[in-house]
């Protein structure tokens, strides 16, 4: 055993007993483990010559899907409040006539925080959901929410300028995504494909915006099944060392000083960064990301896919959205965005941010079949928070509420782990098949 492995094992053993709430001592320990792993990753990266960048990293979405034999279309969805969102459609094979595409059931894939529709291209094609769902006979739609760089448009670009971080454009959180983006995306897809309902698959924030949206209005009546990968409704017990550091040190207020909303520059420098940063530092970057989403001992992600990740991520979001997440972590409640007393009064008619009404949510989602998958070391979906979520959803009678825990998964492994085919994709396909057979 190499000395670096020994030290890593010793540090990881220190995790030992973990208390219910994530303490600052645990945070410091995890930051030490994480930093050490980043460091050893860096040493390995510098020591080994990394292979060439996969051509997939340079392809546009259309080129990417077409090179694997699939049709690709990009659609623009305009929300009720004027945001223009990009929706990627992968309706079928290139050699398939559009006649057979008509009448396919639709499925919608919704990405998570700081992410975008590109996330579903990061894994190998044989493990990724758009391809597998297509084989299964679905018309696949991969949607984007406001504030990521696939969706930086508004019908009123002067008042809602993405270039000005103080403009109205950036006044949104996952609350607004649930209220506006979610129903607009769903309505557009149903209208375009002539379906009455669709199947919804959300990752992380893609699930909380579904819950938030349905606590405010009924969207779920247009959905026949819900799949949640790393589902979140409560976040009070999260164990991300970096997020906790932000919170504990008040660094989040510092974020306000930076032009954090603006990842606009990313798509323009991506080629340079792929060559000079992502290619030589694959392991370092992977381990840094793991320090945010769940500290690992083993690498289960194929490093050759890191440049594809680097092309699409971070996908961008607004600062207000990040602050909403921190508020959820702080309070442990499933609550709306806290604007501060004065603005709360204007927006909600009360000084504090209201909790989402779980009774309304339950009523709206009561007819949904649901399947949730949670990673055992996913720091954003702590077991206590997940239990609380199951508790809210368990009222269902005569409807399926299935869940599965994948022991060694962190918050991104559902999408990009090598084993995602067996651990996530196959169980999801089986759930959907059972659902269809029972109709």
Q: Which residues bind ligand NAG (CB under 6 A)?
A: 58, 69, 93, 95-96, 124, 126, 168, 171, 176, 268, 271, 347, 421
Smallest gap from Cβ 282 to ligand NAG, in A, equals 16
Q: For ligand NAG, which is the closer residue by CB, 8 or 205? A: 205
What does the alpha-carbon distance between residue 126 and residue 138 come to, in Å, rounded to a whole number? 16
Query: What would the DSSP string read from start to end of 175-214?
Result: HHIIIIIHHHHHHHHHHHHT-S-EEEEEETHHHHHHHHHH
What is the chain's Cα-based Rg? 21
Per the CB < 8 A criterion, the answer to whether 260 and 343 are in contact is no
Q: For ligand NAG, which is the closer residue by CB, 79 or 238? A: 79
Q: For ligand NAG, which is the closer residue by CB, 53 or 186? A: 53
Q: For ligand NAG, which is the closer residue by CB, 243 or 319? A: 319
The residues that are catalytic are 204, 378, 411
CB atoms within 10 A of CB 323: 18
DSSP helix/strand/coil, 337? coil
Q: For ligand NAG, which is the closer residue by CB, 96 or 408? A: 96
Smallest gap from Cβ 103 to ligand NAG, in A, equals 16
Smallest gap from Cβ 176 to ligand NAG, in A, equals 5
Helix 24-47 / helix 282-293 crossing angle, nearest 10 deg: 170
What does the alpha-carbon distance between residue 132 and residue 246 come to, in Å, rounded to a whole number? 38
Per the CB < 8 A criterion, the answer to whether 290 and 207 are in contact is no
Backbone angles phi, psi at 90, to 5 degrees: -120, 85
- Chain center to CA of 78: 21
């Amino acid at each position: 055993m190499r000395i670096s492995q020994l030290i890593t094992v010793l540090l990881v053993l220190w995790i030992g007993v973990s208390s219910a709430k994530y303490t600052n001592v645990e945070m410091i320990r995890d930051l030490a483990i994480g930093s050490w792993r980043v460091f050893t990753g860096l040493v390995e990266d510098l020591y080994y010559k990394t292979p060439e960048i996969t051509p997939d990293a340079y392809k546009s979405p259309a080129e990417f899907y077409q090179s694997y034999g699939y049709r690709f279309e990009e659609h623009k969805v305009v929300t009720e409040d004027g945001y223009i969102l990009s929706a990627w459609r992968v309706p079928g094979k290139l050699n398939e006539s559009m006649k057979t595409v008509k009448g396919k059931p639709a499925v919608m894939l919704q990405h998570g925080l700081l992410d975008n529709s590109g996330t579903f291209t990061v894994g190998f094609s044989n493990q990724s959901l758009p391809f597998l769902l297509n084989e299964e006979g679905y018309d696949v739609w991969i949607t984007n929410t406001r504030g990521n760089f696939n969706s930086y448009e508004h019908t009123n670009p002067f008042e809602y300028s993405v270039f000005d971080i103080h403009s109205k454009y950036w006044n949104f959180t996952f609350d607004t995504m649930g209220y506006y983006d979610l129903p607009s995306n769903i309505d557009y897809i149903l209208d375009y494909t002539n379906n009455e309902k669709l199947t919804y698959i959300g990752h992380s924030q893609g699930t909380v915006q579904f819950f938030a949206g349905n606590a405010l209005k009924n969207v779920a009546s247009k959905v026949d099944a819900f799949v949640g990968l790393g589902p979140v409704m409560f976040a009070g017990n999260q164990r991300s060392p970096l997020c906790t550091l932000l919170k504990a040190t008040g660094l989040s207020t510092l974020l306000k000083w930076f032009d954090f909303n603006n990842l606009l520059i990313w798509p323009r420098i991506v080629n340079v960064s792929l060559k000079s940063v992502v290619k030589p530092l694959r392991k370092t970057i992977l381990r840094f990301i793991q320090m945010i989403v769940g500290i690992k001992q083993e690498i289960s992600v194929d490093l050759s896919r890191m440049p594809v990740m680097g092309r699409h991520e971070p996908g961008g979001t607004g600062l207000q959205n990040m602050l909403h997440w921190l508020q959820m972590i702080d309070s442990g409640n499933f609550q709306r965005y806290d604007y501060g007393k004065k603005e709360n009064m204007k927006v909600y008619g009360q000084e504090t941010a209201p909790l989402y009404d779980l009774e309304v949510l339950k009523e709206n989602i009561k007819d949904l079949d649901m399947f949730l998958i949670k990673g055992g070391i996913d720091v954003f979906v702590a077991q206590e928070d997940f239990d609380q979520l199951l508790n809210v959803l368990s009222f269902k009678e005569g409807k399926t509420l299935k869940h599965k825990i994948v022991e060694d998964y962190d918050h991104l492994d559902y999408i990009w782990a090598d084993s995602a085919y067996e651990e996530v994709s196959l169980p999801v396909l089986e759930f959907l098949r059972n659902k269809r057979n029972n109709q």
